[in-house]
Amino acid sequence: MSGEPLYTLREVAAITGFSLNSIELDCREGRVRYTKRGGRERVHKRMTAEQVEELRRFRVKEPEPQPLSDIEAVIAATRAVQRRSPRRSRTGRDS
């Protein structure tokens, strides 16, 4: 890790667009990794580029693809609702 740049949490907030408070909370709650710098009285939180990327992956989760059976169930339910509801003409009067 020697020679690797360390970013302050304020810099990480500027880089990622996440709020400083939410990044501090994630660190405090142990949801993301960070590097401690400082002495006994004051510990400064820093993040490496790898840790910043982990934070991004943690925050921006891709939706998991649904199994086809779930999608088919949603389509069937939608079609059933559409069959029950009466259609209206564009003028607002029933046909």
| Residue 47 maps to a domain | yes
Task: Provide the pLDDT for residue 33.
Answer: 93
The tens digit of pLDDT for each residue in 1-16 reads 457 889 999 999 998 9
Task: Provide the pLDDT for residue 52.
Answer: 92
| Residue 66 maps to a domain | no
| Residue 22 maps to a domain | yes
Domain span at residue 12 reads 7-59
The Cα 6–Cα 83 span in angstroms is 60
Give, in degrees to the nearest 5, the angle at Cα 4 between 2 and 5. Answer: 130
Task: Provide the pLDDT for residue 72.
Answer: 74
| Residue 52 maps to a domain | yes
| Residue 71 maps to a domain | no
| Residue 26 maps to a domain | yes
| Residue 72 maps to a domain | no
| Whole-prediction pTM | 0.58
- Assess whether pLDDT exceeds 70 at residue 60: yes
Output the CA–CA distances (angstroms, integers) from residue 82 to 24, 77, 78, 86, in the order listed: 48, 9, 6, 8
What is the rounded average pLDDT for all residues in the chain?
Answer: 81
Cβ-proximal residues to 55 (8 Å cutoff; 6+ apart), any chain: 12, 16, 18, 23, 26, 32, 47
| Residue 44 maps to a domain | yes
Mean pLDDT of the region 59-72: 69
Query: Based on the structure, what is the number of domains in the chain?
Result: 1
